[in-house]
Structure 1
């Protein structure tokens, strides 16, 4: 018989993993730019981290983009190829 608890547990693990990745990405951004972003301001889709913030914040992220992406690739198992 199909056990729904095990089925739903798979989704629960994926959600927790995504939240941990967001938290780690935000820590890396803070380290390099000294910007305090909220988890709601970042969305990860198709290996791209989309930042929903002001143009001034996005400009600062763009300046430090290479360092941020390099550290993300070394510290996370999730692949992020760009920040927009």
Structure 2
């Protein structure tokens, strides 16, 4: 018989992984730009990090975009190809 708890465990693991990846990306952005970004301002979708913040914050992140992407690739297991 199908066990609902094992089915829901798949989703809880997925959510936990997503939150962990967001925290890793936020730490790398903070290290490179000294900006504090909340997890609700970042979305990771299809190997792209989307920033939902003010234009000033986005501009500072885009100035350091190559360095941030390099750090993400070298220090995490996340595959990120762009920041938008």
TM-score (structure 2 length as normaliser): 0.95
Which ranges of structure 1 fall in alignment gaps of 5 or more residues? none
Is 2:55 the partner of 1:55? yes
* Consecutive aligned runs of 4 or more in structure 1 exceeding 6 Å deviation: none
Which ranges of structure 2 fall in alignment gaps of 5 or more residues? none
> Pairwise mapping of residues 13-28 of structure 1 onto structure 2 (< 5 A)?
13-28=13-28
> How large is the RMSD of aligned CA atoms in angstroms?
0.8
State the partner residue of 2:83.
Answer: 83
What is the number of equivalent residue pairs in this alignment? 84
TM-aligned CA deviation for residue 75 of structure 1? 2.0
CA distances 1:24-52 after superposition (whole Å, capped 9, x unpaired) = 10000000000000000001111110001
